[in-house]
């Protein structure tokens, strides 16, 4: 009998899954060309199916994100809006209609095809920059382009042209057919070659085209007074077919002009020399910006959803726009804003500098949070706060490099190239970035911006990672038409002038784009990345995109010229569709969101938004009228206060500052930095409005004007000084790798204090060391309070008695009326003390909410660090820790996130090992944590993960052990990842020394006592047993027992399972290994499958293949990318994909199933390398005598990989400066093997 279809499909799916992961190395980075699988939540995907392409389009990178992209995905499309016409495909050909607004209706006014056509699908057989050719079974083709009033048709020799006209009034005149009022007043003309005749049969008209294979169709302008007259006038264009359309751009740095040439290649079908030009419609952003000397449109005008479409007779025209500059951030001139406080800015930076990046995120949210850190780090750098800057640089670096590197087995923080759709997909994805190829420019803009930031603060980074970043550039906007991996300008439509966000135009209204400000950020990221890496091609691509898209945004989203939205209540829209626009967003209809999404994120790449202050005033008036922006108590989550205030600062920074000061307790939008808002508003207040009338001969430059007082700003990414010349003749010297303004003063200073901590009423002596000449005075400040001034060297000041608190002291170094601000030194007056006033006794119980107190007030960065500046729990409300009193559980902490910590002063009675019982709850099905403990800066515990408790109100206990030393100590609870709430922590004395931690999962399995045969759960023809080691299997295995699985019939996935005691945590131990012995041939697939629950509610598997037969070998599976999981069962599937027969080749012996942090390694040849100095405080040097060091991985004593290097030379330096004191292991790999050595950090 036949197998059930469902079983066959299941088998097929499993067989398809048998693939070897393919890693492509790109510099220090890499990506995979094999789908890595889903994560524990089932995320990660890719577009289904394969592209519907044929003919010339075959074999080329697949274009997406265009006006016709539904066709290439689905093999049909009902949302083709080319301006002025509307089309959809049907089996019989193309439906042509006129829909002035919205979606296509069910009417089919005119169907163009060939006689008897009934194609099941329509393919894309050719495309160019703004045209597409649709193909019906190679019998019939239709070519259409944006702004083209004509559609061009071709057929095979034996086919007969066919026109079915269901609506309108038809008139046949020789080879021409006119159709009046076909739909919504639309009139059309159909042109067969001269001498052709049309035969009518009902409402269908056919023609052999006088022996030719081409014909065309035009829409007549709605304003035509006589359809027949215009139809005859248009006849001369009917036989000039476009064969290719191309855009070419150039940037003149000296004039800051971007020139764009639009060219159309044509085929004059009738051989006529009377006319060789097509009729092309120009959109407002084009016809309003034509270059001098360009042909101009002087034909008829069509009304379209994009405004007036003006027709031009010709195959080329040229547009010219002016690029007006961007900056990485605003300059540090905020000190000239009256109410600005460097100390307050320092505090705001301190609230974010320790933030970690979430481990549960997606490519879009990751980008936003990276941007938050980037903007803040740049400000910290301006202030001379290199400690905070470097923390944030390190955070960005670690995660960005993780994204840019693929390791076999990982499913998160990686890139996968999908060859079917010619797209780079990032996992975990968000907003359809993977399945629908949505928003690549939005997401990659953040990543590319982060890459430019890394090169700025870690020069040379781009040499190692730049080629991976360039892949992201190419994915979203390849400028190379010969690119074999990615389509030309995927997201950007050269003719529409803007990007489309939807990969497959999957909505009835056509393609769409919502956040133009994030599209512009992508463009600005290319300018920064190209500039800092010296790649003018990428830089100029970014300038072209930025400048062109600005003109389109100002027309179609912002309607600055008031000619697009005829009756709109609002002066902007938040979504532009192929044939409509609206003020909705993809998450709410709240008008506040409509404004915010067109402004966010606001940074130095957003200056285009401030160039038209009259328009800013108009939007500000609407924001006051339609949102609660003036209400400091407004808690609308869609009202992004900081973004709007920064936008307002282009017009009235003083009012923006006033609103900012009135609302200190607002909830910050995700991705927003309070420090950046504060810096931005005061910088704008100091400089005045953006002056877009002045340009520069350098792209990273801008001018601000405060009632005639101009501030010239420029940033130099290069290693040599430059002079920027502005269009008004001003010249600005900019040192290498620096930002400069004409307000800079050639004096500076560094402040120091004789104390960093003290008791109440202590005083400090402040000293400022200066550079530069003509210093007139030095003013000393404690926060916003002027302590006094000194006019002679040495510049000193006594603070006087200092009360409890953190005192941020700094100085202003004056040269006349101008000044520079020194660095800021923080002096902590008051100590960290126990919550109850007395150190918590161990043995004993500590409530998690009873973390230490700072005598000076809020304990952020002293007794704890919390990633948010509000307390969501309500217990100890003046502190930031989210603590909550829970009946029966005491004072707990929750809402935890990675990077947070709390400290507890403890008094340990006796040195030794303590049992630790932690009360906890986790409502995340994947569990929570891990957390860990440190004492006096030394990590003393393994990472502690927590299982799902079923609900956030269900509390459970977690048991572990911890070594403690007698005496008074500070115990720190560190959070690597959240999704867990912590309650009471109870310590009880156990013994002198803790035994090495035993995994609660039950691993390792050695089968000596457990597991036993009864523990195996067999499935689909597999039988698992435990038996004594015997015969040839005693060679290389000294165990008494082993496990055996015999596969006999059933299914190709036959095997057996073992249940663990609790879920697996791959955060620090990333590998499962086992020893295997089989007579099966080399290359046999061994699948390790992780499952959650019985029956399994989720699963994840990886394959390995055997390399030996008839002897023992060790195989490993890398699950490190999964992190904390809910998987609590192991399924062993040997010889996966083949049906077992019970013989020796279907029998598999295995032993020593282990969960490990690193893999075992081979030994080096004796004396092959040396490491010095060891111990060290700063760095180790590793040197080989006769081998190339391929890689070095450094692990801490808990097995966590803390550093990775790829020296590719015989000597390498390992930087120890960021490591805490303790013992480490370096795994060093050369061509001859791998070895681990001990490293000691002092």
- Catalytic residue IDs: 439, 514, 518
Secondary structure E strands in 763-889: 765-771, 777-782, 785-790, 795-798, 805-815, 818-821, 825-829, 832-833, 840-842, 844-847, 853-854, 864-865, 883-886
CA terminus-to-terminus distance, the chain: 73
- Is 159 in contact with 167 (CB distance < 8 Å)? no
SS3 713: strand
Residue 194 vs residues 191, 201, 717: alpha-carbon distances, Å:
8, 21, 62
C-alpha closest to that of 36 among 1120, 992, 1049:
1120
- Cα gap 875→891, rounded to integer Å: 7
C-alpha closest to that of 961 among 917, 902, 906:
917
Phi and psi torsions of 225, nearest 5°: -80, -25
- Is 922 in contact with 977 (CB distance < 8 Å)? no
- Cα gap 1184→1170, rounded to integer Å: 7
**111 membership: H or E segment, kind and range:** strand 110-114
- Which pair of structure tokens corresponds to residue 936? 């006096």
C-alpha closest to that of 467 among 28, 1020, 990, 1016:
28
Pairing of strands 901-908, 840-842: parallel
Report angle CA 363, 367, 373 to the nearest 5 degrees: 145
- Which pair of structure tokens corresponds to residue 1194? 């450094």
**7 membership: H or E segment, kind and range:** helix 5-16
Residue 948's CB: how many other CB atoms inside 10 A? 20
- Cα gap 1146→1084, rounded to integer Å: 10
**Diameter of the chain measured on Cα atoms:** 108
- Cα gap 906→985, rounded to integer Å: 12
**115 membership: H or E segment, kind and range:** none
Alpha helices (H) along 155-291: 227-234, 284-287
Pairing of strands 805-815, 981-991: unpaired
Long-range contacts of residues 649-653, Cβ cutoff 8 Å, at least 24 apart:
649/680, 649/681, 649/684, 649/685, 650/609, 650/610, 650/613, 650/616, 650/684, 650/689, 650/690, 651/610, 651/613, 651/616, 651/617, 651/620, 651/689, 652/620, 653/337, 653/681, 653/682, 653/684, 653/685
C-alpha closest to that of 329 among 605, 1, 641, 34:
605
- Cα gap 970→1229, rounded to integer Å: 39
DSSP 78: S
Report angle CA 376, 380, 381 to the nearest 5 degrees: 120
Given its phi and psi angles, is residue 1083 left (phi above 0), alpha (psi -120 to 50 degrees) or beta?
left
Residue 1240, exposed/middle/buried by CB under 10 A (0-12, 13-18, 19+)? Answer: middle
The reply to whether omega before 601 is within 30° of 0 (cis) is: yes
SS3 288: coil
């Amino acid at each position: 009998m036949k197998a059930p279809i469902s079983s066959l499909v299941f088998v097929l799916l499993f067989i398809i899954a048998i693939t070897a992961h393919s890693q492509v190395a790109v510099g220090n980075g890499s990506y995979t060309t094999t789908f890595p699988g889903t994560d524990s939540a089932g995320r990660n995907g890719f577009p289904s199916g394969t592209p519907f392409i044929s003919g010339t389009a075959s074999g080329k990178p697949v274009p997406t994100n265009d006006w016709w992209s539904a066709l290439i995905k689905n093999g049909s499309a009902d949302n083709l809006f080319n301006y002025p016409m509307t089309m959809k495909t049907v089996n019989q050909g193309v439906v042509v209609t006129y829909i002035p607004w919205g979606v296509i209706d069910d009417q089919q006014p005119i169907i163009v095809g060939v006689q008897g056509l009934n194609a099941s699908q329509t393919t894309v057989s050719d495309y160019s920059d703004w045209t597409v050719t649709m193909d019906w079974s190679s019998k019939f083709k239709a070519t259409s382009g944006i702004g083209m009033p004509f559609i061009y048709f071709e057929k095979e020799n034996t086919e007969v042209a066919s026109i079915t006209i269901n609506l309108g009034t038809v008139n046949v005149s020789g080879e021409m057919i006119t159709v009046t009022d076909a739909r919504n007043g639309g009139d059309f003309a159909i042109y067969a070659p001269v001498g052709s005749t049309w035969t009518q049969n009902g409402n269908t008209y056919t023609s052999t085209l006088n022996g030719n294979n081409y014909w065309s169709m035009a829409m007549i302008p709605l304003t035509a007074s006589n359809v027949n007259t215009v139809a005859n006038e248009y006849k001369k264009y009917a036989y000039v077919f476009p064969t290719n359309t191309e855009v070419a751009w150039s940037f003149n740095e000296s004039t800051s002009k971007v020139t764009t040439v639009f060219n159309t290649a044509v085929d004059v079908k009738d051989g006529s020399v009377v006319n060789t030009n097509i009729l092309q419609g120009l959109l407002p952003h084009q016809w309003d910006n034509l270059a001098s000397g360009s042909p101009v449109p002087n034909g008829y005008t069509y009304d379209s959803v994009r405004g007036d479409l003006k027709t031009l007779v010709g195959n080329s025209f040229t547009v010219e726009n002016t690029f007006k500059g961007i900056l990485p951030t605003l300059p540090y001139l905020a000190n000239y804003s009256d109410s600005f406080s460097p100390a307050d800015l320092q505090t705001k930076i301190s609230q974010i500098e320790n933030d970690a990046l979430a481990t549960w995120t997606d490519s879009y949210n990751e980008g936003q949070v990276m941007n938050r850190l980037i903007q803040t780090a740049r400000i910290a750098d301006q202030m001379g706060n290199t400690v905070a800057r470097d923390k944030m640089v390190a955070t960005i670096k670690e995660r960005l490099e993780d994204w840019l590197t693929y390791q076999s087995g990982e499913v998160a923080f990686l890139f996968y190239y999908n060859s079917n759709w010619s797209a780079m997909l990032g996992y975990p994805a968000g907003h359809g970035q993977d399945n629908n190829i949505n928003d690549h420019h939005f997401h990659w803009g953040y990543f590319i911006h982060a890459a430019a930031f890394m090169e700025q603060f870690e020069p040379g980074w781009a040499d190692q990672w730049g080629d991976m970043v360039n892949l992201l550039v190419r994915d979203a906007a390849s400028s190379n038409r010969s690119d074999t991996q990615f389509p030309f300008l995927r997201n950007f439509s050269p003719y529409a002038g803007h990007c489309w966000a939807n990969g497959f135009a999957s909505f009835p209204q056509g393609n769409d784009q919502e956040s133009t400000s994030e599209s512009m950020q992508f463009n600005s990221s290319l300018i920064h990345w190209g500039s800092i890496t010296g790649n003018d091609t990428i830089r100029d691509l970014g300038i072209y995109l930025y400048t062109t898209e600005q003109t389109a945004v100002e027309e179609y989203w912002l309607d600055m010229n008031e000619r697009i939205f005829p009756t709109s209540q609002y002066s902007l829209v938040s979504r532009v569709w192929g044939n409509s626009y609206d003020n909705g967003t993809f998450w709410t209809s709240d008008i506040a969101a409509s404004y915010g999404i067109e402004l966010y994120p606001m940074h130095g790449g957003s200056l285009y938004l401030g160039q038209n202050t009259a328009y800013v005033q108009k939007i500000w008036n609407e924001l006051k009228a339609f949102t609660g922006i003036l209400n400091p108590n407004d808690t609308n989550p869609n009202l992004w206060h900081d973004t709007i205030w920064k936008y307002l600062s282009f017009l009235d920074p003083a009012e923006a500052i006033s609103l900012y000061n009135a609302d200190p307790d607002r909830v910050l939008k995700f991705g927003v930095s309070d420090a950046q808002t504060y810096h931005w508003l005061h910088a704008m207040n100091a400089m005045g409005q953006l002056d877009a009338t002045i340009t520069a001969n350098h792209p990273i430059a801008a001018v601000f004007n405060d009632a005639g007082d101009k501030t010239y700003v420029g940033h130099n990414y290069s290693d040599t000084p430059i002079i920027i010349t502005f269009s008004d003749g001003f010249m600005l010297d900019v040192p290498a790798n620096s930002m400069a303004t004409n307000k800079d003063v050639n004096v500076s200073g560094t402040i120091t204090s004789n104390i960093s901590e003290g008791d109440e009423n202590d005083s400090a002596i402040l000293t400022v060391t200066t550079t530069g000449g003509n210093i007139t005075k030095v003013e000393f400040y404690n926060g916003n309070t002027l302590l006094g001034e000194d006019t002679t060297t040495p510049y000193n000041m006594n603070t006087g008695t200092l009360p409890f608190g953190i005192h941020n002291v700094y100085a202003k170094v004056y040269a006349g009326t101008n000044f520079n601000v020194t660095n800021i030194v923080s002096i902590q007056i008051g100590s960290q003390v126990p919550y109850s006033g007395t150190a918590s006794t161990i043995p004993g119980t500590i409530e998690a909410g009873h973390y230490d107190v700072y005598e000076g007030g809020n304990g952020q960065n002293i007794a704890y660090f919390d990633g948010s500046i509000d307390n969501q729990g309500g217990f100890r409300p003046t502190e930031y820790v989210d603590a909550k009193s829970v009946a029966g559980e005491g004072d707990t902490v929750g809402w935890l996130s990675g990077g947070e910590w709390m400290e507890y002063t403890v008094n340990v009675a006796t040195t030794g090992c303590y049992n630790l019982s932690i009360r906890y709850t986790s409502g995340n099905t994947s569990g929570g944590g891990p957390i860990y403990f440190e004492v006096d800066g030394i990590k003393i515990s393994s990472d502690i993960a927590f299982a799902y408790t079923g609900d956030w109100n269900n509390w459970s206990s977690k048991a572990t052990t911890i070594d403690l030393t007698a005496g008074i100590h500070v115990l720190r609870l560190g959070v690597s990842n959240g999704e867990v709430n912590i309650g009471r922590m109870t310590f009880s004395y156990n013994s002198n020394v803790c035994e090495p931690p035993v995994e609660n999962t039950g691993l390792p399995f050695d089968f000596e006592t457990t597991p036993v045969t009864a523990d195996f759960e067999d499935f689909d023809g597999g039988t698992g047993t435990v038996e004594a080691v015997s015969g040839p299997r005693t060679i290389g295995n000294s165990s008494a027992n082993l496990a055996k699985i015999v596969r006999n019939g059933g299914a190709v996935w036959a095997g057996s399972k073992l249940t663990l005691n609790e879920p697996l945590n791959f955060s620090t131990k990333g590998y499962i290994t086992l020893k295997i012995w089989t007579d099966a041939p080399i290359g046999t697939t061994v699948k390790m499958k992780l499952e959650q629950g019985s029956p399994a509610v989720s699963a994840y598997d990886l394959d390995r293949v055997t390399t030996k037969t008839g002897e023992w070998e060790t195989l490993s599976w890398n699950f490190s990318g999964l992190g904390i999981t809910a998987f609590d069962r192991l399924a062993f599937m040997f010889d996966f994909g083949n049906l077992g027969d019970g013989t020796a080749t279907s029998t598999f012996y295995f032993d020593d199933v282990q969960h490990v942090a690193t893999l075992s390694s081979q030994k080096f040849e004796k004396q092959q390398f040396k490491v010095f100095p060891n111990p060290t405080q700063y760095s180790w040097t590793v040197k080989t005598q006769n081998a190339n060091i391929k890689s070095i991985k450094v692990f801490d004593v808990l097995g966590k990989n803390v550093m990775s290097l790829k020296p590719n030379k015989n000597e390498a330096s390992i930087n120890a400066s960021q490591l805490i004191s303790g013992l480490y292991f370096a795994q060093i790999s050369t061509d001859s093997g791998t070895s681990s050595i001990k490293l000691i950090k002092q």
